[in-house]
Amino acid sequence: MASGMHQSIRKGELMGEMGLQVQMVLFWSVILFMVVKKQFDSVPRTWWIWWLDCNKQGTAAVFTHMLNVYVAVLISQTLPPMASSDQCTWYLITYLNEVLLGTFLSFLLLKLLDACFIRHGFQSLASGNYYFVRTVYKTIKLSPGQSIPHGCSEETIIDYKLYLLQCLIWIFVLTVSKSLLVLLQLQLSQIS
């Protein structure tokens, strides 16, 4: 077992035994962090809403990971043979580019889109507006036509079509952001 781990580290295999173990530790660390973060949310969410929000972010993370791999391969294949064409190096550069610039750019694009949606009367398309909480008042029926209040409860209504549409809007924002970053990265790779 130890020699298999040693070989996968030496080869730099992401899908080797050690690579898979590292990815599992990272996965469970993210899950733990998100659960702890939920406890400190300024706006309390149900566990189901929290799961939907995490799912949207997880889908986006997988999407951008695939884009980063594609971009790294693309750049490494378009460079002249004398230049650095190591795909792993370009993946790291692409990833850092995404973290340092892409996050900020995606945030700005999303806020711009949200403002446009609100300005043009499409508030429901603004990010995070796929559910609402409704107060349900309970009554006790005394006789036909006569009842008295008996407490209330809150009910969360989720519009799953709107949630899916917002996921697609978020993927669109990430695609535009990544496209702008790739153009910048290609320009910079031609200079060096």
User: In terms of domains, do 67 and 124 share one?
Assistant: yes
User: In terms of domains, do 57 and 138 share one?
Assistant: yes
Average pLDDT over residues 78-104: 79
User: What is residue 81's predicted lDDT score, i.e. its pLDDT?
Assistant: 60
Separation in Å, CA 42 to CA 14, 38, 39, 125, 130 = 37, 9, 9, 22, 18
Q: Other CB atoms closer than 10 Å to residue 113's CB: what's the count?
A: 19
Range of the domain at 22: 1-40
User: What is residue 115's predicted lDDT score, i.e. its pLDDT?
Assistant: 95
Model confidence at 10: pLDDT above 70: no
Confidence bin at 110 (pLDDT 50/70/90): very high
Q: Other CB atoms closer than 10 Å to residue 154's CB: what's the count?
A: 9
User: In terms of domains, do 163 and 68 share one?
Assistant: yes
